[in-house]
């Protein structure tokens, strides 16, 4: 069902089935077939390679072959691996003026006709489905769209990308533009583990689709509460014509979908590459294509000169709520529970502009909550009552939102660090590498505050006595410290797993661990205090059994300013095996540029009563 719906939502909603018959085309050809050398030369051009989605070496898998995993896309039997054969078959199929292949491949037609000097007058006039679709896809401007992280979900920090096609360079309403998406088509029947596995190895097909941009705004901005960044691209009419023609060729065509490299972001980049094959959009090897890399690639290629920030509903609410006095804010909170207060002096005695603001904040708070639930009569009644109060009490327009730093201005993804420190009288040097992405103390610009996700975090230490030891190999460490406010009461949480050195008896030992739990946090000015309940599983223990299970708590605070980021944390775990661990740490992070920072950290760790202090200073470089 889900798949069928998706298909229906799919590229055009036109289920034109086009039969390609290349056998008879040559005989009726109005055009002469060029010689082999010409075909070989044209097949090597970047545009033809882009139209066939040949991998120029951008990803590891199948270099020199097409990414398209769909035999219907090719006209030659070896079209997925032989660009020249596919070009010859294409020329043959397109040659006849009323050829149905022209309607199936309008971008290939543009390529062949331009290169071979064919007369293009009314060449696609017989393609009524295509023409109808083009009428509904007016091309004025292409915009790269980046929905950022949503609240309390650090794993969404990687973001998402899609394209928007505007009818003109200055569209009257972006709501009415088209959204171009590439996404995996999972069947919904697989369990999570299988889903992850199939996603990694390319078990799901991916497809392009077109729908209305208003659905994108509704879904990401209103339901999921993600800020949306929009980047208009400097692409001229001809480039956009290539892209839209090619989009038609891709309707219903399957690509393999790989989470790491061949994902939505990579495909969109590839689509733009069809429009501008002269730009180095796919240059270099990609191990993992993150949405923010895509934005940076477009910026570096000179295609982006501007951005537009579309705040989520929650950020809009915060912007309206912040200027209210504390008594007004308390009143808005009461109004969301009882709109009868609108008729009492508590509300009526306010100035008209204040009545407007208070009612507006109450309405928005009610809707943020109500929007994701089923409609109920009392919420609907309260919503309308608040809207009437807004309407009856006019106020000057609120100041526009001040955008935060855009995601592409954030630090890069990978991290290497070099540190020097002392533990228990021994000096050491430490080398660190972190695959991805951000911890809560890293430079905050471009990232949501209090959210951290770290994957594959390696630390190696060389001690002054010559020992070299693995200090840490973190697998995944996710932290969501989401402060509770007037309107929202999120539950913070963290999960951390991997291998690490911890005190055990009078020594330190390497062991596997899994640590995590739910928590609460608050905001006091720039300081965010928090507490977590936590459970820990570990393999480190000096006595039998060697599998430790502990319970405990963490308490700490973040103080995140644009220039320095401070973190303080205390944690305690009591283990069923009869020992306990205490850890206390203080860190300060000082970014010196976008991708470089200094970090000082002192930590005290103990196993039962035996403890060690460890202090270090590190230089951190993102790349």
Question: The tokens of 8 are what?
Answer: 């229906």
In the block, tokens 């919503």 appear at: 383
Q: Distance between CA atoms of 611 and 584, rounded to whole angstroms? A: 11
Position 362 contacts another protein (CB under 8 A): no
What distances in angstroms separate CA 117 from CA 42, 106, 114, 318, one per listed residue? 13, 16, 5, 59
Angle of the 264-275 helix axis to the 237-249 helix axis, nearest 10: 130
Question: In this chain, which of 24, 194, 405, 617 binds another protein, going by CB under 8 A?
Answer: 194
- 465-472 long-range CB contacts below 8 Å, 24 or more apart? 465/426, 469/501, 469/510, 470/499, 470/501, 470/510, 471/430, 471/500, 471/501, 472/498, 472/499, 472/500, 472/501
Pair 540, 548: CB distance under 8 Å: yes
Question: Judged by CB, which is closer to another protein: 42, or 210?
Answer: 210
Pair 408, 230: CB distance under 8 Å: no
In whole angstroms, how close is the CB of 383 to another protein at the nearest point? 5
Position 188 contacts another protein (CB under 8 A): yes
Position 212 contacts another protein (CB under 8 A): yes
Question: Judged by CB, which is closer to another protein: 106, or 311?
Answer: 311
Specify the stretch interacting with another protein by CB under 8 A; choose among 300-308, 375-383, 466-474, 614-622: 375-383
Q: Using the CB atoms, write b or e for 581-614: b if 16+ within 10 Å.
A: bbbbbbbbbebeeeeebebebebebbbeeeebeb
Question: In this chain, which of 159, 444, 450, 552 binds another protein, going by CB under 8 A?
Answer: 159
Question: In this chain, which of 18, 60, 283, 387 binds another protein, going by CB under 8 A?
Answer: 387
Position 383 contacts another protein (CB under 8 A): yes
For residue 83, the 8-state DSSP code is: H
Could you tell me which residues are beta bridge partners of residue 597? 591, 620
Pair 616, 420: CB distance under 8 Å: yes
Interface residues for another protein in 285-324 (CB under 8 A)?
A: 288-291
Question: Judged by CB, which is closer to another protein: 476, or 590?
Answer: 476
Q: Distance between CA atoms of 333 and 529, rounded to whole angstroms? A: 23
In whole angstroms, how close is the CB of 344 to another protein at the nearest point? 20
Question: In this chain, which of 130, 363, 607, 622 binds another protein, going by CB under 8 A?
Answer: 363
Q: Distance between CA atoms of 33 and 22, rounded to whole angstroms? A: 13
Q: What share of the chain is helix, strand, coil (3-state, %, to 5)?
A: 30, 30, 35
DSSP secondary structure string, 297-316?
Answer: HHHHTT-B---EEE--HHHH
Question: In this chain, which of 118, 195, 309, 488 binds another protein, going by CB under 8 A?
Answer: 195
Question: In this chain, which of 24, 175, 201, 323 binds another protein, going by CB under 8 A?
Answer: 175
Position 596 contacts another protein (CB under 8 A): no
Question: The tokens of 355 are what?
Answer: 């009545």
Interface residues for another protein in 99-158 (CB under 8 A)?
A: 136-137, 150, 152-153, 155-158
Position 542 contacts another protein (CB under 8 A): no
In whole angstroms, how close is the CB of 229 to another protein at the nearest point? 14
Question: In this chain, which of 308, 319, 367, 414 binds another protein, going by CB under 8 A?
Answer: 367
Question: The tokens of 160 are what?
Answer: 């998402």
Binding mask 464-493 for another protein (x = CB under 8 A): -----------xx-x--------------x
Question: In this chain, which of 115, 379, 582, 606 binds another protein, going by CB under 8 A?
Answer: 379
Binding mask 34-73 for another protein (x = CB under 8 A): ----------------------------------------
In whole angstroms, how close is the CB of 293 to another protein at the nearest point? 10
Specify the stretch interacting with another protein by CB under 8 A; choose among 59-67, 97-105, 391-399, 550-558: 391-399
Interface residues for another protein in 77-106 (CB under 8 A)?
A: none
Pair 560, 568: CB distance under 8 Å: no
Question: In this chain, which of 453, 528, 540, 560 binds another protein, going by CB under 8 A?
Answer: 453
Interface residues for another protein in 409-438 (CB under 8 A)?
A: 436-437
In whole angstroms, how close is the CB of 278 to another protein at the nearest point? 26
The residue ranges of DSSP E strands in 8-157, in sequence order, are 141-150
Position 199 contacts another protein (CB under 8 A): yes
Position 6 contacts another protein (CB under 8 A): yes
Q: Please tell me the count of residues contacting another protein according to CB under 8 A.
A: 92
In whole angstroms, how close is the CB of 418 to another protein at the nearest point? 26
């Amino acid at each position: 069902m889900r798949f069928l719906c998706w298909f229906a939502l799919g590229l055009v909603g036109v289920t034109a089935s086009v039969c390609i018959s290349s056998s008879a085309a040559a005989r009726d050809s109005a055009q002469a077939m060029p010689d082999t050398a010409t075909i070989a030369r044209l097949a090597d051009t970047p545009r033809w390679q882009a139209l066939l989605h040949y991998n120029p070496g951008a990803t590891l898998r199948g270099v020199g072959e097409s990414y398209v995993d769909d035999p219907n896309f090719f006209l030659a039997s070896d079209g997925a691996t032989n660009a020249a054969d596919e070009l010859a078959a294409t020329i043959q199929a397109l040659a006849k003026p009323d050829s149905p292949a022209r309607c199936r491949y309008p971008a290939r037609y543009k390529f062949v006709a331009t290169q071979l000097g064919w007369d293009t007058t009314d060449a696609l006039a017989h393609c009524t489905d295509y023409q109808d679709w083009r009428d509904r896809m007016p091309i004025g401007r292409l915009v790269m769209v980046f929905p950022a992280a949503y609240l309390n979900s650090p794993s969404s920090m990687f973001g998402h990308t899609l394209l928007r096609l505007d009818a003109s360079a200055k569209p009257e309403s972006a709501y009415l533009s088209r959204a171009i998406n590439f996404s995996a088509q999972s069947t919904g029947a697989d369990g999570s583990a299988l889903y992850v596995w199939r996603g990694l190895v390319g078990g799901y097909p991916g497809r392009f689709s077109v729908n209305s941009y208003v659905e994108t705004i509704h879904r990401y901005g209103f339901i999921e509460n993600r800020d949306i960044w929009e980047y208009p691209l400097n692409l001229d009419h001809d480039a956009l014509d290539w892209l839209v023609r090619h989009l038609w060729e891709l309707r219903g065509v399957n690509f393999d979908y790989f989470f790491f490299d061949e994902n939505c972001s990579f495909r969109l980049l590839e689509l733009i590459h069809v429009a501008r094959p002269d730009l180095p959009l796919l240059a270099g090897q990609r191990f993992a294509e993150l949405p923010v890399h895509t934005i940076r690639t477009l910026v570096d290629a000179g295609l982006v000169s501007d951005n537009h920030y579309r705040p989520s509903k929650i950020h809009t609410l915060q912007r309206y709520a912040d200027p209210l006095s504390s008594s007004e804010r308390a009143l808005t909170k009461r109004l969301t529970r009882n709109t009868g207060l609108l008729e009492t002096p508590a509300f009526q005695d306010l100035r008209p502009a204040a009545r407007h603001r208070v009612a507006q904040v109450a309405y928005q708070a009610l809707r943020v909550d109500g929007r994701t639930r089923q409609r109920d009569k009392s919420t609907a009644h309260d919503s309308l009552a608040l809207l009437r109060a807004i309407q009856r009490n006019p106020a000057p327009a609120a100041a526009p939102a001040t955008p935060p730093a855009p995601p592409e201005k954030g630090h890069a993804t990978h991290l290497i660090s070099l540190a020097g420190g002392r533990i228990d009288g021994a000096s050491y040097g430490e080398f660190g590498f972190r695959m991805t992405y951000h911890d809560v103390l890293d430079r905050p610009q471009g990232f949501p505050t209090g959210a951290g996700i770290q994957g594959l975090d390696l630390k190696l230490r060389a001690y002054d006595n010559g020992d070299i030891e693995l200090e840490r190999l973190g697998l995944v460490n996710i932290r969501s410290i989401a402060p509770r406010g007037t309107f929202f009461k999120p539950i913070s949480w963290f999960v951390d797993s991997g291998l690490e050195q911890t005190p055990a008896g009078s020594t330190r030992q390497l062991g596997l661990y899994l640590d995590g739990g739910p928590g609460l946090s608050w905001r006091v000015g720039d300081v965010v205090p928090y507490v977590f309940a936590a459970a820990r599983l570990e393999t480190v223990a000096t006595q039998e059994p060697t599998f430790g299970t502990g319970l405990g708590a963490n308490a700490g605070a973040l103080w995140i300013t644009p220039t320095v980021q401070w973190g303080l944390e205390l944690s305690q775990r009591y283990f069923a095996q009869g020992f306990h661990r205490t850890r206390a740490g203080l860190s300060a992070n000082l970014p010196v540029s976008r991708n470089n920072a200094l970090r000082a950290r002192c930590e005290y760790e103990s196993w039962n009563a035996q403890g060690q202090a460890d202090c270090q200073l590190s230089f951190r470089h993102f790349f």
